[in-house]
Amino acid sequence: SDVYGNTVPGDDTSNVDLSILTGTGAAGASLLGTPSGTADSGLVRLTRFSIDSAGTGYQLLASASGLASDTSQAFDGSAGAVAMVDVEPPTATFNALTATKALAAVPRDIFGNAATPAITWELADSTVASIDSAGLATANANGTTEVFATALGVTASATLIVDQVPAALEFSVQPTNVM
């Protein structure tokens, strides 16, 4: 634009580079794709780039040789479509029946940003363990089963092992004073 903010028509071959303004958005975030382009009729259309980290308060800096740079308004970047689900712990072992362990599942986009869709839990064998909607697993019987966490059609699994361990000795019949 000119000094009054008017678009300058005509073919301008200035190369315009785009970057994340230092100190904005998520620490360590990067622009991916093609964050540069050539002006045409006073406009540069930059459409083939993305930011790799979800965050708030991002600002972009446009710069070109011989021209004053410009800063975008602040905006927030959210996680993209669910690409994977992380389940923790990947293996949970129960040493007693009715013991419980909390499992956690985090849906993530292709860059590893945490997303927020709901998780549904399922078990391959509900005789070995049960699991509630919050991911709390309960041991029901000795054995091994897989637990599945699903978010928007993307599923990951963990292994639940129930293996009772003796914790104390106990007399089943008490001795008597008979001689």
pLDDT at 11 over 60: no
Cα 44 from Cα 150, distance rounded (Å): 41
Average pLDDT, the chain: 87
State residue 105's pLDDT score.
97
Residue-wise pLDDT for 37-93, tens only, equals 776 766 777 777 788 888 899 999 988 877 788 899 999 988 888 999 999 999 999
Model confidence, pTM: 0.65
**Please, which residues bridge with residue 75 across strands?**
58
Question: What whole-number percentage of the chain has pLDDT above 90?
Answer: 53
As a whole number, mean pLDDT of residues 108-123 equals 92
